[in-house]
Homo-oligomer: A and B are copies of this chain.
Amino acid sequence: MSERIYGEVPGVSEGMWFPQRGDLSRMGVHRPPMAGISGSAREPADSIVVSGGYEDDEDDGDVLVYTGQGGNDPLTKKQVCDQDLNRGNRGLVLSLMEGLPVRVVRGANLGSPFAPEAGYRYDGLFRVEAYWHEPGISGFRVWRFRLGKIKPIVARPRSISVAETSALYGAQAVGEPAARQSLLVSRIVRNSAVAITVKRLHRFACQVCGTCLETPAGPYAEAAHIRPLGTPHDGPDTAENVLCLCPNHHALFDLGGFTIEDDLRLTGTRARLRTVRAHPISPDHLRYHRAHYRHGSDDLRFVAAAAAE
């Protein structure tokens, strides 16, 4: 996995055009010479090519519904048997679970208004948002992946028309039936290379309760930053500032539900954080978290609840 690049490839900017598949491979945008998915059963996917090779693909510009690989006849492009959740298909699920970006390349395809007229175009980074299976148009099982475009963050507030915002966040009172527009983002989990390393060191077991969530595509855990990332805390994205937690303890940790002492005891209890030798935790960052997230005498109660699970 050391050679796979997740994210932008140096020297290749969004919108760049390539005449041949071989050019994509040579530039490192999409390495496999034939396969549509660059990834494997053990390695998260780093890129895909959308080229109309599957009859079930859907392309809405910023949202792609991409069909997994296998089971189709390369000549007719029709499915001729069920797809397995393996190879690149599993790689895309790993990208979902690790939160890694996938480069999307569109190839010429007369059926899509988003495809280039000829050759291939690099269309930026997408996030795998969901995966599922269904009978494809030909009746055989296909694996499907929804990919959403990752938007750059603009540094300053820009002017937004009413039409734009209300299309997304329609005004509504709580209690009224909610339209699709009212959906809101609530909890964002950030991941990185460090996060993956730490989760692997703990074999995806929560450092508080030992839970390892088993899914059909493998174990799932989250990386929690002790001193938070971003303004104004600016905690580092280093292993000593990261814990491997189940989603429940991640939510509790971020909401001040428990804190951790220098000796790794959960504050107010005898329970101790589970550790592995290769992953030391920074007492400085634990101290920072306690100083900002500990709720005085309340702490005991919430820690007890956390440790009792």
Q: What residues of chain A have their CB less than 8 Å away from a CB belonging to chain B?
A: 1-10, 13-15, 58, 60-63, 65, 85, 96-101, 114, 123-125, 127, 129-134, 144, 146, 149-157, 159-162, 164-180, 182-197, 211, 213-217, 220, 222, 228-232, 237-238, 246-248, 250-252, 254-257, 291-293, 295, 298, 301-302, 305, 309
Cα distance A7–B160 in the bound complex, in angstroms: 14
Q: Nearest Cβ distance between residue A237 and chain B, in whole angstroms? A: 5
The interface residues of chain B lying within 8 Å CB-to-CB of A187 are 99, 187-189, 222, 247
- For A213, list chain B residues within 8 Å (CB): 248, 251-252, 257
A245 CB → nearest B CB, Å: 10
Q: Which of B61, B182, B186, B255 contacts A157 (CB 8 A)?
A: B61
A178: chain B residues at CB < 8 Å are 192-195, 237
Copies of this chain: 2
Q: Which of B58, B114, B174, B256 contacts A231 (CB 8 A)?
A: B58
A189 to B189, CA, bound (A): 10
Contact of A175 (CB < 8 Å), options: B197, B214, B301 = B197
Residue contact B238 to A177, C-beta cutoff 8 Å? yes
A188-B187, A190-B186, A216-B302 in contact; A156/B61 too (CB < 8 A)?
A: yes
Q: How far is the CA of A302 from the CA of B179 in the complex (A)?
A: 33
Q: Within the assembled complex, what's the spacing in Å between the Cα atoms of A98 and B160? A: 25
Which of B171, B173, B256 contacts A3 (CB under 8 A)? Answer: B173
Q: A255 to B247: give the CA distance in the assembly, Å.
A: 13
- Contact assessment for A157 and B123 in the assembled complex, using a CB-CB cutoff below 8 Å: yes
Which residues of chain B are within 8 angstroms of A8 by Cβ–Cβ distance? 162, 165-166, 169-171
